[in-house]
Chain A
Amino acid sequence: MNTREQLRLLILAVLERQPEHGYAIAQAIKARSDGLLNAREGTLYPALHALEAEGLVESQEHEISGRVRREYRLTAKGGGALAKSRRMWAAQVQAVGAVIGSGA
């Protein structure tokens, strides 16, 4: 799984909990990983656009206290893609773990 695919997985996982706008997605990734994962925020939107074009997320503009925000929501197809990506990621982690060991 390359960096682009990892970012897609992170976005889908964040949106699984609830619909969010772009900034909140970036903050959620940072907060849940204790700051270790820092989504390159300039490339967050191209990733969201690609996910939307594939029908994995959908978006809608809302006006919140005079500010227009685009909210992204996971679709059923996106839920399926997330489950598949999670399985792939788990298999990769297991494979790498088996090679590098615990170091003890």
Chain B
Amino acid sequence: MKASEWLVRATGDLPTGVTARVKADTLAHLQDAGLDREADVRPVLGRPEDTAAELRRLYLTNREWQGFSPQPSLLLRVGEGMQAFLWPAILIWSLFEPLTPLHGNWPLWWGIAVVVSVFLSITQRQHPALRRLWRELLASWSYPATLVMLPGRDPVFIALALTLFVYATYTIWHRIARLSRTLTLEGERA
């Protein structure tokens, strides 16, 4: 397998900045190894599928990257707007629902309000794509929080809330890390 074919298989579905960096690294490596462009590179580089899998773990695919378009659709913008109101809605709800743990617990209420405000303010300065994911993370925490605050607080709901919290945090955090790395190689400020 020639270097060009190996590179297409390893980087075929990655954004241009990521592809350029991997290509530069790999071609320099092959030059140092004394292999010309027509030689079979598999004995040196291994299977391109293995490299592709490692790269997809680190970076967004081209399709995912295109999904973070600078001009999101109206539907997406409405969804994001609703996400931004989830925590304020929970805080307002807790003012009127006496059975929530936040009701009357002003230190906790203000603590959460300050954390949410600071979070929204910090993310406002980030790249729009990254901001969207950070806010998705914040919004995802509102679902388990609502389950915990349900009147009665059934242990099953608490367990479900914890599972949701861990799952959402892990998956969105992983996407944030991949997006941050991709932004760096695409030459955009995270």
Contacts and interface: CB of A to CB of B under 8 A. Distances in A.
Contacts of A53: 58, 177, 180-181, 184
Interface string A77-89: 0000000000000
B50 interface: yes
B26 A45 contact: yes
Interface string B56-75: 01100000000000000000
B47 interface: yes
A67 B28 contact: yes
Interface residues of B, number: 27
A43 B28 contact: no
Given A43-B46, A67-B31, A22 B25 contact: yes
Given A42-B50, A46-B54, A53-B58, A23 B181 contact: no
Interface in A1-55: 21-24, 26, 40-50, 53
Nearest to B18: A49
Nearest to B34: A23
A41 B44 contact: yes
A: interface residue count bin: 20 to 34
B122 interface: no
Contacts of A70: 24-25, 28
Contacts of B44: 41
Given A40-B46, A42-B51, A49 B181 contact: yes
B148 interface: no
Interface in A49-70: 49-50, 53, 67-70
A43 B51 contact: yes
A41 B45 CA distance: 5
A4 to B, nearest CB: 8
B102 interface: no
A22 B51 contact: no
B156 interface: no
A23 B32 contact: yes
B101 interface: no
B33 interface: yes
A45 B24 CA distance: 11
A50 B184 CA distance: 12
A9 to B, nearest CB: 16
A45 B46 contact: no
A53 B21 CA distance: 14
8 A-B pairs with least C-beta separation: A23-B32, A42-B45, A46-B54, A42-B51, A40-B46, A42-B46, A45-B25, A53-B181
Interface of A: 21-24, 26, 40-50, 53, 67-70
Given A22-B28, A49-B58, 13 more contacts: A21-B32, A22-B25, A40-B50, A41-B29, A41-B45, A45-B26, A46-B55, A47-B54, A49-B21, A67-B28, A68-B24, A69-B32, A70-B25
